Amino acid sequence: MPTSAISINDLSVSYDSKRVLSNIFLEIEEGHRYGILGPNGSGKSTLLKAMLGLIDDYTGSIRVLGQPVEEVRRRVVYVPQRSEIDFTFPATVRDVVLMGRYPHKKVFQKLNAADHELADEAMRELDILNLQHRQIGELSGGQQQRTFLARALAQGAEILLLDEPLVGVDIPTEEKIIEVLRRLSAAGKTLLVVHHDLQAVPEYFDHVILVNQRLIAAGPTPEVFTPELLKRTFGGQLALLHQMG
CA pair distance 85, 90, nearest whole angstrom:
12
Q: Which residues contact 156 (CB under 8 A, 6 or more apart)?
A: 100, 104, 118
Read off the pLDDT of each residue in 53-61 and give the average, rounded to a whole number.
90
Q: Please state, in angstroms and rounded to a whole number, the distance separating the CA atoms of residues 133 and 126.
A: 15
What is the percent of the chain where pLDDT is above 70?
Answer: 95
- In the chain, the domains with their CATH numbers are 4-242 (3.40.50.300)
- Tell me which of 124-133, 204-213, 229-238 is least confident: 229-238
Residue 41 three-state SS? coil
pLDDT tens figures, 145-183? 999 999 999 999 999 999 999 988 999 999 999 999 999
Cα–Cα nearest to 240, from 187, 200, 213, 188: 200
Nearest CA-CA partner of 214 in 6, 34, 5, 12: 12
Distance in angstroms (rounded) separating the CA atoms of residues 203 and 167:
17
**Taking a C-beta distance cutoff of 8 angstroms, is the pair 24, 214 a contact?**
yes
Is pLDDT of 193 > 90? yes
